[in-house]
A and B are shown apart, each in its own frame.
Chain A
Amino acid sequence: MEIAPVLRALTHRKIGVVLIVAQIALSVAILANSVSIVQQRQGLMRRPSGLDEANTFSLTNQFTGSSSDLSARIRTDLAALRAIPGVIDATAVQSFPLRGYGAATTVTLRPDAKSPFNAAEYSLTLNGLHTWDMKLIAGRNFHADEVKDFWLGISNGAPPTAIITRALAQRLFPHGGALGQNVYLGTSAPTQIIGIVERAQTPWAAGSAWGTFGPEESLLVPFQWVSPILAYVVRTEPGRNDAVLALAPKRLFAVSRARVISDAQTFADTRAEQYRSDRALGLVLTVVCGLLLAVTAFGVIALTSYWVSQRRRQIGLRRAVGARRLDIVQYFQVENLLISGFGAALGVALGFAGNAWLVSAFEMVRMSVAYVIAAAAALLVLSQVAVLWPALRAAALPPVAAIRWQ
Chain B
Amino acid sequence: MLGYYVGMALRSVRRNVALTALMIVAVAVGIGASMTLLTALRALSGDPIPAKSARLYSVRVDNWGPDAPNNAMLSDLVSYTDAMALLRAQRGIRQSAMYETTFGITPASGDANPFTATARVAGRDFFAMFDAPFASGAAWSAADDEQRAAVAVIGAHLADRLFPNGGAVGRNVLLGERSYRIVGVLKPWHFQPRVYDLSSRLYQETEDVFVPLSTAVDRQLHTMGGSYCDHAVGTVFADTLRSECRWLQFWVELPDPAAAKAYRRFVENYAAQQRSAGRFHWPPNVALLDVNAALRAAKMVPDEMRVSTVAAFGFLVVCLVNATGLMLAMLERRAGELSIRRAVGASRGQIFAQCLAEASAVGIGGGVLGLGLTALGLAFERLILREDYARLVDLNLDAVWTTFGLAVITVTVAALYPAWNASRLQPAWKLKAE
Q: Whole-angstrom distance between the alpha carbons of A152 and B319 in the complex?
A: 59
Residue from the list B26, B229, B303, B325 in contact with A186, Cβ < 8 A:
B229
Tally of chain A residues near chain B (CB < 8 A):
76
Q: Whole-angstrom distance between the alpha carbons of A365 and B245 in the complex?
A: 35
Q: What mask results when residues 299 to 321 of chain B are scored 1 for a CB within 8 Å of chain A, else 0? A: 00011101110111011011101
B224 contacts which chain A residues (CB < 8 A)?
A: 229
B317/A26 in contact, CB under 8 A = yes
B314/A29 in contact, CB under 8 A = yes
Q: Whole-angstrom distance between the alpha carbons of A27 and B116 in the complex?
A: 50
B235/A62 in contact, CB under 8 A = no
Closest to A26 in B: B318
Within 8 A of A (CB), among B81-113: 102, 104-106, 113
A156/B234 in contact, CB under 8 A = yes
Whether a CB of chain B sits under 8 angstroms from the CB of A400 is no
Residue from the list A34, A67, A260 in contact with B116, Cβ < 8 A:
A260
Contact A291/B315 with A64-B114, A156-B235, A257-B114 known, Cβ cut-off 8 Å: yes
Query: Which one of B319, B421, B433 has the highest number of Cβ atoms from chain A below 10 Å of its Cβ?
Result: B319
Whether a CB of chain A sits under 8 angstroms from the CB of B257 is no
Closest to A310 in B: B332
A105/B26 in contact, CB under 8 A = no
Q: Whole-angstrom distance between the alpha carbons of A258 and B115 in the complex?
A: 10
Give the shortest distance, in Å, between B119 (CB) and chain A (any CB). Answer: 12
Query: Which one of B220, B304, B333, B433 has the highest number of Cβ atoms from chain A below 10 Å of its Cβ?
Result: B304
Contact A27/B26 with A186-B232, A277-B304 known, Cβ cut-off 8 Å: no
Contacting chain A: which of B9-17, B29-37, B276-284, B396-404?
B29-37
Q: What mask results when residues 314 to 344 of chain B are scored 1 for a CB within 8 Å of chain A, else 0? A: 1101110110111011001100000000000
Contact A260/B329 with A66-B177, A105-B232, A212-B70 known, Cβ cut-off 8 Å: no
Interface size of B as a range = 35 or more
Q: What mask results when residues 224 to 259 of chain B are scored 1 for a CB within 8 Å of chain A, else 0? A: 100001111011110100000000000000000000
Whether a CB of chain B sits under 8 angstroms from the CB of A280 is yes
A305 contacts which chain B residues (CB < 8 A)?
A: 329
Q: Whole-angstrom distance between the alpha carbons of A16 and B67 in the complex?
A: 62
Q: What mask results when residues 98 to 142 of chain B are scored 1 for a CB within 8 Å of chain A, else 0? A: 000010111000000111100000000000000000000000000
Whether a CB of chain B sits under 8 angstroms from the CB of A83 is no
A299/B322 in contact, CB under 8 A = yes
Query: Which one of A156, A253, A280 has the highest number of Cβ atoms from chain B below 10 Å of its Cβ?
Result: A280
Q: Whole-angstrom distance between the alpha carbons of A258 and B114 in the complex?
A: 7
B29 contacts which chain A residues (CB < 8 A)?
A: 291, 295
Within 8 A of B (CB), among A296-311: 296, 298-299, 302-303, 305-306, 309-310
Q: Whole-angstrom distance between the alpha carbons of A22 and B26 in the complex?
A: 16
A106/B69 in contact, CB under 8 A = yes
Q: Whole-angstrom distance between the alpha carbons of A132 and B383 in the complex?
A: 31
Q: Whole-angstrom distance between the alpha carbons of A33 and B234 in the complex?
A: 49
Residue from the list A22, A29, A258, A276 in contact with B384, Cβ < 8 A:
A276
A115/B69 in contact, CB under 8 A = yes
Residue from the list B114, B220, B308, B318 in contact with A284, Cβ < 8 A:
B308
Within 8 A of B (CB), among A245-278: 253, 257-260, 262, 273, 276-278
Give the shortest distance, in Å, between A218 (CB) and chain B (any CB). Answer: 17
Q: Whole-angstrom distance between the alpha carbons of A20 and B308 in the complex?
A: 24
Whether a CB of chain B sits under 8 angstroms from the CB of A176 is no
B321 contacts which chain A residues (CB < 8 A)?
A: 19, 22-23, 26, 299
Q: Whole-angstrom distance between the alpha carbons of A65 and B385 in the complex?
A: 36
Q: Whole-angstrom distance between the alpha carbons of A283 and B114 in the complex?
A: 39
Q: Whole-angstrom distance between the alpha carbons of A208 and B314 in the complex?
A: 24
Give the shortest distance, in Å, between B301 (CB) and chain A (any CB). Answer: 11
A278/B70 in contact, CB under 8 A = no
Q: Whole-angstrom distance between the alpha carbons of A364 and B311 in the complex?
A: 14
A277 contacts which chain B residues (CB < 8 A)?
A: 302, 304, 385-386
Residue from the list B69, B303, B315 in contact with A292, Cβ < 8 A:
B315
A362/B234 in contact, CB under 8 A = no
Query: Which one of B105, B234, B239 has the highest number of Cβ atoms from chain A below 10 Å of its Cβ?
Result: B234
A276/B303 in contact, CB under 8 A = no
Whether a CB of chain A sits under 8 angstroms from the CB of B297 is no
A296 contacts which chain B residues (CB < 8 A)?
A: 318, 322
Give the shortest distance, in Å, between A270 (CB) and chain B (any CB). Answer: 13
A306/B315 in contact, CB under 8 A = no
Q: List 8 A-B contacts (CB under 8 A).
A: A62-B102, A65-B106, A105-B232, A115-B69, A186-B231, A257-B114, A288-B312, A362-B303
Q: Which residues of A are interface residues toward B (Cβ below 8 A)?
A: 15-16, 19-20, 22-23, 26-27, 29-30, 33-34, 37, 62-67, 105-106, 114-116, 118, 150-156, 158, 185-187, 208, 211-212, 228-229, 253, 257-260, 262, 273, 276-281, 283-285, 287-288, 291-292, 295-296, 298-299, 302-303, 305-306, 309-310, 358, 362-364, 406
Contacts A118-B69, A257-B114, A281-B304 aside, 13 further interface pairs with beta carbons under 8 A come to A19-B321, A19-B325, A30-B318, A64-B105, A67-B177, A152-B237, A186-B229, A259-B114, A260-B104, A277-B302, A277-B386, A299-B325, A302-B19
Q: Which residues of B are interface residues toward A (Cβ below 8 A)?
A: 19, 22, 26, 29-30, 33, 37, 67, 69-70, 102, 104-106, 113-116, 176-177, 220, 222, 224, 229-232, 234-237, 239, 302-304, 306-308, 310-312, 314-315, 317-319, 321-322, 324-326, 328-329, 332-333, 380-381, 384-386, 417, 421, 433-434
